[in-house]
Amino acid sequence: MPPHFIDGQPHHHDRPKRERQPGEPLRIGVGGPVGSGKTALVAALCRQLRDELSLAVLTNDIYTTEDADFLRRHAVLPDERIAAVQTGGCPHTAIRDDITANLDAIDDLIEANDKLDLILVESGGDNLTATFSSGLVDVQIFVVDVAGGDKVPRKGGPGVTYSDLLVVNKTDLAPMVGADLDVMRRDAGQVRGDRPTVLISLTDDPAASLVQAWVREQLAGAGVTNV
Amino acid sequence: MDSGLATLLALADSRLPTGGHVHSGGVEEAVTSGLVKDVVTLRAYLRRRIRTHGLVTASVAAAVHGGLDPATADRETDARTPAPAARQASRAQGRGLVRLARRVWPEAGASEVTGEGPVWELVGSRPHLAVASGVVGRVSGLEPQQTCATVVYTTMTGSATAAQRLLALDPADVAALTFELSALCDATAAEAAKGIADLSDPLLDVLAQRHAGRDRPLFAS
């Protein structure tokens, strides 16, 4: 159900959730427009979490392996923990309408790595309408950036409205692009109801502490106890 | 009477979530190589693909549908698919179809195909697309010729849609082309239902292999 209003107030429904089987790794989707900082955020999370738990990353690129190559080059994880899905030029189809290639890649990652706790599924840079199927991920993060304009949260879309965590990235750029962070925070709160929003700058805080804390909450909630 | 028509339409629907949308059936490499560049060259490519790959895949599927055991059909498909990249693409698509089919028909028994044990164990997780299609055709209650029709038709539409995306063709032109080729699809499906076709297509094998070596393709094959 797309975001809608009743008597001028945003109206929310719970979205369907995948039933996780015991022992399955938690799957967290990371989506958002091109250049908003998805891959940098994934890299930051890997650096913070890789010593404590067993994790893997799956990327959905427009040009196949660019994001996966970035992650490999920066050695955030060993190669066998990074996989890339080819999306036929349609990254949103591969995470929403037909998730088969992603599910196959997840099976392969689970087969190649002992006892995975967490799989980060990164979408290809797409537009505001992109969202992950509940058959693919357990929870999802949507990343937008300040430089994309402070109107983005108001414009909404399923990622902004329904993601389990909205990340407004690159707050350090706000003065340079004339973006009003308070407006972004307020607009996000208005369309998101109780769903959390965090404003971050990976330049100021390379550990992405706020996102990291949220991810740890999700892991704890999912029964992954070694964090 | 249950004609299976709606089932046939569902299996031939490009929205069926089996991972087919990430495969171009060699079209991406044909476009990159300059072989397919407009509607005219796409027509030639699709005609060839229907008559070679479509015929062989549908004929193996029909044989499996009719009772040929999956292991033998797997070897027959390998024998007609010399390029490793083409084999891999076929298995990737077979894997996707079986993934869906296991969800749709989880209780399908061994009696559905020759052999013993639950049908999905018999088929394995990475069968060739032809083998998976034959089993799915049978399990879903289609007739062998209907299985052939879905295989040939999706062989055409998968490549046609990929070409439309890659060349930004007018969708109406591509749709017109698929209607134009419908008689060829029907004739090919009818031929495929008669027995396993003994041919392979060197051009499609070469394209599949070259695609695998390309830097940053959009499609998996």
Judged against a pLDDT cut of 60, whether residue A3 lies above it is answered with no
Helix axes B171-180, B39-49, angle to 10 degrees: 40
Rounded to whole angstroms, the Cα distance separating A97 from B120 reads: 24
Q: Residue A166 in 3-state DSSP?
A: strand
Express each pLDDT in B33-91 by its tens digit: 999 999 999 999 999 999 999 999 999 999 999 999 999 999 999 999 999 999 999 99
Asked if B95 lies within 8 A of A88 by C-beta distance, the reply is no
Asked if B217 lies within 8 A of A93 by C-beta distance, the reply is no
Asked if B218 lies within 8 A of A89 by C-beta distance, the reply is yes
By the CB < 8 Å criterion, does B93 face chain A?
no
**Residue recorded with tokens 């719970």:** A14
Q: Which of residues 141-170 of B touch A (CB under 8 A)?
A: 162, 165-166
Give φ, ψ of B181 to 5 degrees: -90, 5
Asked if B218 lies within 8 A of A63 by C-beta distance, the reply is yes
The predicted pLDDT at position B112 comes to: 57
Residue of A nearest to B95 (CA): A104
Rounded to whole angstroms, the Cα distance separating B50 from B152 reads: 6
Question: How many Cα atoms within 13 Å fall on the side-chain side of residue A184?
Answer: 26
Q: Which of A89, A97, A98 sits opposite B165 (nearest CB)?
A: A89
Exposure pattern of A4-19 as b/e (b: 16+ CB <10 Å)?
eeeeeeeebeeeeeee
Judged against a pLDDT cut of 60, whether residue A1 lies above it is answered with no
Express each pLDDT in B6-40 by its tens digit: 999 999 999 999 999 999 999 999 999 999 999 99
Judged against a pLDDT cut of 80, whether residue B110 lies above it is answered with no
Q: Which range has the worst mean pLDDT, B4-8, B127-131, B138-142, B215-219? A: B215-219
Token pair in block for residue B26 = 């060699």
| Chain A residues with a Cβ under 8 Å from any Cβ in chain B | 62-66, 85-90, 93-94, 97-101, 103-104
Identify the H or E element spanning A55.
Answer: strand A55-61
Rounded to whole angstroms, the Cα distance separating B183 from B103 reads: 33
How sure is the predictor about B210, in pLDDT bands with cuts at 50, 70 and 90? very high
Judged against a pLDDT cut of 70, whether residue A20 lies above it is answered with yes
Rounded to whole angstroms, the Cα distance separating A74 from A55 reads: 16
ipTM for the predicted complex comes to: 0.88
Q: Which of B21, B95, B96 sits opposite A88 (nearest CB)?
A: B21
Helix axes B144-167, B182-192, angle to 10 degrees: 140
Asked if A63 lies within 8 A of B216 by C-beta distance, the reply is yes
Judged against a pLDDT cut of 90, whether residue A109 lies above it is answered with yes
Contacts of B219 in chain A (CB under 8 A): 86, 88-89
Q: What is the mean pLDDT of residues B83-105?
A: 97
Task: Tell me how many residue pairs between chain A and chain B have CB atoms under 8 A apart.
Answer: 61
Q: Which of A63, A87, A100 sits opposite B17 (nearest CB)?
A: A100
Rounded to whole angstroms, the Cα distance separating B36 from B34 reads: 6
The predicted pLDDT at position B55 comes to: 98
Contacts of A218 (CB under 8 A, 6+ apart): A26, A28, A138, A139, A164
The average confidence (pLDDT) of chain B is 94
The predicted pLDDT at position A149 comes to: 84
The predicted pLDDT at position B114 comes to: 58
pTM of the model: 0.90
Contacts of A101 in chain B (CB under 8 A): 19, 22, 96, 220
Residue of B nearest to A62 (CA): B218
By the CB < 8 Å criterion, does B20 face chain A?
yes
Q: Residue B177 in 3-state DSSP?
A: helix
Residue closest to B112 by CA, chosen among B72, B73, B67: B67
Report the percent of chain A where pLDDT is more than 70.
Answer: 91
Q: Which of A64, A65, A100 sits opposite B19 (nearest CB)?
A: A100
Q: What is the mean pLDDT of residues B161-180?
A: 97
Rounded to whole angstroms, the Cα distance separating B29 from B85 reads: 12
The predicted pLDDT at position B3 comes to: 81
Judged against a pLDDT cut of 90, whether residue A2 lies above it is answered with no
How far lies B170's CA from each of B46, B163, B174, in Å? 16, 10, 7
Rounded to whole angstroms, the Cα distance separating A56 from A102 reads: 13
Express each pLDDT in A118-128 by its tens digit: 999 999 877 77
Chain A closest-CA separation from residue B217 CA (Å)? 6
The predicted pLDDT at position B183 comes to: 98
Asked if A65 lies within 8 A of B22 by C-beta distance, the reply is no
